[in-house]
Amino acid sequence: MTRKTRLTRYALAAALAGGLLTGCTSDDESLTYQTDYSNHRPLKVVGYPSTGSLQTVQAAVWRLADGDVSGLAELAVDDTHANATARNWVKAFGPAAEGDVTADFYDEGSVRQVVVLYFAKSGQIKEIEARRGREDDSWGLTLAEPDPAEVTAKPTWAPSKPGHSGSRTVGAASGN
């Protein structure tokens, strides 16, 4: 039995035991998260994410690693270009997302948050935006890059390594 299989079984057993002890079962979202968490490398985090931005970015990295275009597209806050963008992201970053990924969260995250993903396996850097949706106040991603060239363009402002600058807002306000 592989380590991944053992971890999945332990996570599922813990979720089931927790549900039995409290007299109720885990909801589907919680069980999905626990299973995803045990089946993937942990996301390294720099900065100050909100709970919503962190969960959304973590799910996006998992969908990339799994090659799950439709799952990634479901994270979109606007579906105009979601499928094309998700397809492009999976093609460009999917294999790299299977390795170590660091997410550097910028600015204050109550409504939206810019995040720079650093893929250690490939050396790729990707800027994304997590934000609250318009209708139900849940968090999602801006998936508005149907052009493959746009998807792989490195952000010009981001440092080459995570954690080497601070929030753009804080830096501008403090004169740094």
Residue pLDDT, tens place only, 119-154:
999 999 999 999 998 777 789 999 999 999 999 999
Give me the residue spans of the domains in the chain.
1-39, 42-174
Q: Kindly report, residue by residue over 34-91, the tens digit of the pLDDT.
A: 787 778 888 999 999 999 999 999 999 999 999 999 999 999 998 889 999 999 999 9
Close Cβ partners of 170 (under 8 Å, ≥ 6 residues apart): 107, 176
Cβ(100)–Cβ(158) under 8 Å?
A: no
Per-residue b or e along 95-119, where b marks 16 or more CB atoms closer than 10 Å to that residue's CB: bbbbeebbbbbbbebeebbbbbbbb
Q: Kindly state the DSSP code that residue 29 receives in the 8-state scheme.
A: H
Q: How far apart are CA 20 and CA 3, in angstroms?
A: 26
Topology annotation, domain 42-174: Nuclear Transport Factor 2; Chain: A, (3.10.450)
pTM: 0.76
Q: CA 122 from chain center: how many Å?
A: 17
Q: How far apart are the first and last CA of the chain?
A: 52
